[in-house]
Copies of this chain bind each other. A is one copy, B any other.
Amino acid sequence: MPKLYDCDISGSCYKIRLFLNILGVDYDAVKVDFVNKEHKNPSYLALNPFGEIPIFEDGDLRLRDAQAILIYIAGKYDPSGLWFPKDAKAQGQIAQWLSTGGGEIMNAAGARLVKVLNYPMDLEKLHAGANRVFKIMDDHLANRQFLELGRPTIADIACFPYTALAGEGGIDLSPYKNVVAWIERMKHIEGFVPMPGIPSAA
C-alpha cells in the first residue's frame, strides 16, 4: 500500500490526501510533526533532503514535491485519465497551474505560517504576492468552472488548499468572487474530504 508522510494542518499534504480520496486509493499515513520541525530532522532529511512535506512512497519509488506526487498518482491510479490526460496540450495547460500552486500561491501558505506559527517572514510582501495571484485566478475563472479543460484536474487540486486557507493568513478572498465560487465547486467533487480550516460545503 502506498505511504504518505503527512501532516493534518499542511495544505501541501492535503493536496495528496484529497486526490487519493477522490480516486478511492487506500494508503498508509505516517504523521510528521511539522509544528516541532520533525521535517528538518536528519532522519527525515535522509528521505527528502529538501526537508519538505509531503513525501509519497509506492513500492520502491519515493517522491517529494506535492505537484510531482499529483502527476504520479494521476498516471498510476486514475484509469479515467481525466485528471492529467496523456496528451501534450492538456498536460501543458495543467502544468501551468501546478507551477502556480507550488509557486505564487505559496505566498498565501507563507502568510499562514506567519499568522499561525509566527514564522519570521515579510507578511506584507506575502500578502501582496497572494493578492496578485488571486486576482489573476479570479479573472481566469470569470468564464470557467475549473482552471483548465472545463472540468476538475490536478491543476485545481494543486491550487485549491492554500487558496481556501488564505483567510488563516489574513487574506480576504471576498473581492475574488469567482475564486470563492470555485472553492465551493471544489467542495462538491465526489470524494471531497475536509481539513482543518477547509470545512465541507455548507
Contacts and interface: CB of A to CB of B under 8 A. Distances in A.
A49 to B, nearest CB: 5
A50 B136 contact: yes
Contacts of A93: 61, 63, 68
**Which of A64, A91, A92, A104 is packed against the most chain B CB atoms within 10 Å?**
A92
Nearest to A50: B136
A201 B102 CA distance: 34
Interface stretch (A27-35, A72-80, A166-174): A72-80
A117 to B, nearest CB: 19
A67 interface: yes
Contacts of A50: 100, 104, 136
Quick one: which of A49, A69, A86, A94 has the most chain B CB within 10 A?
A: A49
Most buried by B among A67, A73, A95: A95
Interface of A: 49-50, 61, 63-65, 67-69, 71-76, 86-89, 91-96, 98-100, 102-104, 136, 139-140
Given A50-B104, A68-B92, 19 more contacts: A49-B136, A49-B140, A50-B136, A61-B89, A65-B96, A65-B100, A67-B95, A67-B98, A68-B93, A69-B92, A71-B91, A71-B92, A72-B92, A73-B88, A75-B91, A75-B92, A99-B99, A102-B102, A102-B103
